C-alpha cells in the first residue's frame, strides 16, 4: 500500500480496451446514428452475441432455446435499437425477453433470477439522450470478460445467416420485471428497520429508475418527493441526476427534506445530500458504508477504490485499520479486484458502488439503502457518519484528443507532470488516464493546496491539448 503522502505521477491505459475495436470499459457507446450505434450494426451485434453467448453448454432441456433479456433506459433511440438487437438475437435462434425501461442493475438481477443465458442493457448511462450504448451481462449477472467481448467482435466479420424458420427465436414481454426488482431492492434493507419519519427527495434523472426507486423507499416507510421522474425520451440526465447535483440540493432545501438521493440515467450511480444541501459523492458514501460495517463487525476484508479515489478516503480508512487498494478506473476492474481478494465493498467517486454481499454489480438504489441503513442503525446524520474524511481538493479536466492519441510519447507532457510532482512535494497526486469510452485524456490533480491543484491541472491540460494538435 503506498504511503499516504507520497506523490505519484502516472499514466494509466488499459491495453485490453485498446485492442478491442468497439467495446470500451462499459460496453459499446456512441452517438446515435453514427457507427457503431446504428440499426444495422446493432442487429449484427445481436446476432454475433447470440452465437457467442449461447455457444457454451447451458444444460438446456431438449428442444429448449437459449433466452436473453433486453432492458433499456428512457432514451427515444432505445425503441429503434431494441428492435434491431431483438432481430439479430432472433436470427441467431435466441428467445428474447423484453422488460422495457429497466435499470442496468435490474437487468443483472433478472438475468440471474430468471435463469437466462445473458442480459443486455441499451443505455449510455450518464450521457445525454443523443448517445446510446449496448452492454451485456453474463448468466451470473456480471459484466462480460474481455475474452468474450473479443469473441463477439470477431463474429461481426461474419455475415448474418439466420437460423431455419422453425429455429428462430421468439420474443415476449416480462410484465412483472419492475415488481420483481422492487422486492429485490427492499430485501437488501434490514427487516427490523424502516424509513418512517424521513422525507427523502429522489432524483431519477428522467431515467430508468423513475418508476422504481420511489416505490422502494415508500414501501420502506419514507415520505418520497420525486423529481426527474417525467421522462420524455430526450430529457434523460439533462441538468439532473447523479451528474448534476444542484437540482437535488435545491429540491432538498425547498421541500425541507431530511435526505436527497440522485441516480443516473441507468441507475447504477448514486450521490446523496443532507438537509443542509451538502453533497456526498461515491467516495464518501463508500467510507460511510465501510465504517458502519466495521462497527457492526460485518465488513469482509477491505475496500477497493480506483486510481481516482480521493486520497483522503484511503487515509481515513487506514485510520480505521480497514485495508484499501486501488483498481484501474471502471467498475468492472473494481469488481475483478474484489473477487480476487474475496472482499465485498468497493466503487468510485462517481457513485458506482458495489456491495457484493447484496448484488453482483453496482446498484445505485441498493447502495443508497446501505447508507440509509447506517443512518437508521446509528441515529447519526450523513455529516456525522462521514466525519473522518475531509476530501482533498481535486481537479479533473477532460481534454479531447484525436482517436488513437498516446500522450505517453510526448516529452512535453512528461515534463509538465514531473514539474507538478516536484511542486506538490509529496502532498498530492497527478494522474493522466485515457478514457475507455471516448477520445479523451483525463487529467486529474489532487493535493492539499486548492490553488496548486487548479494551477497544475489547467497547465497540464493545456500541454496535452497542444501536444494533441501538434
pLDDT tens string 20-39: 789 987 899 999 999 999 99
* Long-range CB pairs of 12-15, under 8 A, 24+ apart, other chains included: 12/307, 12/328, 12/329, 12/431, 12/432, 12/433, 12/434, 13/406, 13/408, 13/433, 13/434, 14/328, 14/330, 14/333, 14/434, 14/436
pLDDT band at 55 (very low <50, low <70, confident <90, very high): confident
pLDDT tens string 210-246: 999 999 999 999 999 999 999 999 999 999 999 999 9
Structural element, H or E, at residue 83: helix 77-91
Provide the 3-class DSSP secondary structure of residue 165. Answer: helix
**Cα(445)–Cα(460) distance, integer angstroms:** 9
Query: In this structure, what DSSP letter does residue 189 have?
Result: S
pLDDT at 428: 86
Residue 93 dihedral angles phi and psi, to the nearest 5°: 85, 25
pLDDT tens string 96-142: 999 999 999 999 999 999 999 999 999 999 999 999 999 999 999 99
Q: Which of 271, 246, 256, 253 is nearest to 198 (CA)?
A: 256
Residues in Cβ contact with 312 at an 8 Å cutoff, skipping those fewer than 6 apart: 283, 389, 390, 391, 392
pLDDT band at 317 (very low <50, low <70, confident <90, very high): very high
Provide the 3-class DSSP secondary structure of residue 157. Answer: coil
Residues tagged active-site = 125
CA atoms within 13 A on the CB side of 5: 5
pLDDT at 427: 81
pLDDT at 7: 37
**Cα(372)–Cα(250) distance, integer angstroms:** 21
Torsion angle, alpha carbons of 450, 454, 457, 461, to 10:
170
Query: In this structure, what DSSP letter does residue 66 have?
Result: P
pLDDT at 285: 98
Q: Which of 305, 300, 314 is nearest to 342 (CA)?
A: 300
The Cα-based distances of 447 to 89, 102, 312 in angstroms read 49, 39, 10
Structural element, H or E, at residue 445: strand 440-447
pLDDT tens string 232-288: 999 999 999 999 999 999 999 999 999 999 999 999 999 999 999 999 999 999 999
**Cα(158)–Cα(148) distance, integer angstroms:** 16
Q: Name all domains of the chain by residue range, CATH numbers in brackets.
A: 32-176 (3.40.120.10), 196-277 (3.40.120.10), 281-391 (3.40.120.10), 393-469 (3.30.310.50)
Residue with cell 427515444: 76
Query: In this structure, what DSSP letter does residue 241 have?
Result: G
Q: Is 397 left (phi over 0), alpha (psi -120 to 50) or beta?
A: beta
**Cα(456)–Cα(174) distance, integer angstroms:** 52
- Sign of the torsion formed by the C-alpha atoms of 370, 264, 282 and 199: negative
CB-based contact 456:34 (threshold 8 Å): no
Burial group, residue 104, by CB count within 10 angstroms (0-12, 13-18, 19+): buried
Burial group, residue 320, by CB count within 10 angstroms (0-12, 13-18, 19+): middle
pLDDT at 2: 37
Q: Which of 59, 70, 127 is nearest to 95 (CA)?
A: 70
Give strand pairing partners of 10. 431
Arithmetic mean of pLDDT over the chain: 92
Query: In this structure, what DSSP letter does residue 5 have?
Result: T
Q: What pTM value is reported for the model?
A: 0.89
**Cα(132)–Cα(124) distance, integer angstroms:** 4
Amino acid at each position: 500500500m503506498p504511503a499516504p503522502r507520497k506523490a505519484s505521477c502516472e499514466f494509466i491505459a488499459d491495453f485490453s480496451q485498446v485492442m478491442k475495436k468497439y467495446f470500451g470499459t462499459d460496453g459499446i457507446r456512441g452517438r446515435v446514428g453514427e457507427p457503431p450505434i446504428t440499426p444495422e450494426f446493432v442487429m449484427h451485434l445481436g446476432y454475433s452475441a447470440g452465437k457467442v453467448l449461447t455457444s457454451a453448454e447451458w444444460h438446456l432441456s431438449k428442444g429448449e432455446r437459449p433466452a436473453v433479456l433486453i432492458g433499456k433506459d428512457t432514451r427515444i433511440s432505445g425503441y429503434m435499437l431494441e428492435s434491431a438487437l431483438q432481430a439479430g438475437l432472433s436470427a441467431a435462434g435466441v428467445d428474447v425477453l423484453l422488460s422495457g425501461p429497466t435499470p442496468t442493475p435490474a437487468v443483472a438481477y433478472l438475468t440471474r433470477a430468471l435463469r437466462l443465458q445473458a442480459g443486455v442493457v441499451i443505455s449510455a448511462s450518464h450521457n445525454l439522450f443523443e448517445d446510446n450504448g449496448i452492454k451485456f451481462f453474463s448468466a451470473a449477472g456480471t459484466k462480460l470478460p474481455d475474452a468474450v467481448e473479443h469473441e463477439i467482435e470477431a463474429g461481426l466479420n461474419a455475415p448474418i445467416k439466420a437460423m431455419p424458420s422453425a429455429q428462430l427465436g421468439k420474443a415476449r414481454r416480462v410484465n412483472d420485471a419492475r415488481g420483481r426488482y422492487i422486492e429485490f431492492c427492499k430485501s437488501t434493507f434490514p427487516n427490523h428497520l424502516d424509513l418512517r419519519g424521513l422525507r427523502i427527495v429522489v432524483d431519477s434523472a428522467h431515467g430508468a429508475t423513475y418508476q422504481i426507486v420511489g416505490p422502494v423507499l415508500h414501501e420502506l416507510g419514507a415520505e418520497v418527493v420525486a423529481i426527474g421522474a417525467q421522462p420524455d425520451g430526450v430529457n434523460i440526465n439533462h441538468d439532473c441526476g447523479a451528474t448534476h447535483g444542484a437540482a437535488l440540493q435545491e429540491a432538498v432545501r425547498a421541500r425541507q427534506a431530511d435526505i436527497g438521493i440522485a441516480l443516473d440515467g441507468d441507475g447504477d450511480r448514486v450521490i446523496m445530500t443532507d438537509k443542509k444541501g451538502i453533497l456526498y459523492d461515491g467516495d464518501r458514501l463508500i467510507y460511510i458504508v465501510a465504517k458502519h460495517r466495521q462497527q457492526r463487525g460485518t465488513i469482509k476484508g477491505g475496500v477497493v477504490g480506483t486510481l481516482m479515489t480521493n486520497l483522503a478516503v484511503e487515509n481515513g480508512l487506514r485510520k480505521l485499520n480497514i485495508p484499501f487498494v486501488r483498481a484501474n478506473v471502471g467498475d468492472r476492474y473494481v469488481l475483478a479486484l474484489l473477487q480476487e481478494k474475496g472482499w465485498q465493498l468497493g466503487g468510485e467517486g462517481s457513485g458506482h458502488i458495489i456491495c457484493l454481499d447484496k448484488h453482483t454489480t453496482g446498484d445505485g438504489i441498493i447502495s443508497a439503502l446501505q447508507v440509509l441503513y447506517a443512518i437508521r442503525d446509528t441515529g447519526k446524520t450523513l455529516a456525522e457518519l462521514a466525519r473522518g474524511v475531509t476530501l482533498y481538493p481535486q481537479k479533473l479536466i477532460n481534454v479531447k484528443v484525436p482517436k488513437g492519441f498516446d500522450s505517453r510519447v510526448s516529452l512535453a507532457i512528461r515534463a509538465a507532470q514531473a514539474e507538478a510532482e516536484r511542486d506538490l512535494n509529496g502532498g498530492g497526486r497527478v494522474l493522466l488516464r485515457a478514457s475507455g469510452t471516448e477520445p479523451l485524456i483525463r487529467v486529474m490533480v489532487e493535493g492539499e493546496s486548492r490553488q496548486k491543484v487548479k494551477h497544475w491541472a489547467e497547465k497540464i491540460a493545456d500541454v496535452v491539448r497542444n501536444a494533441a494538435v501538434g
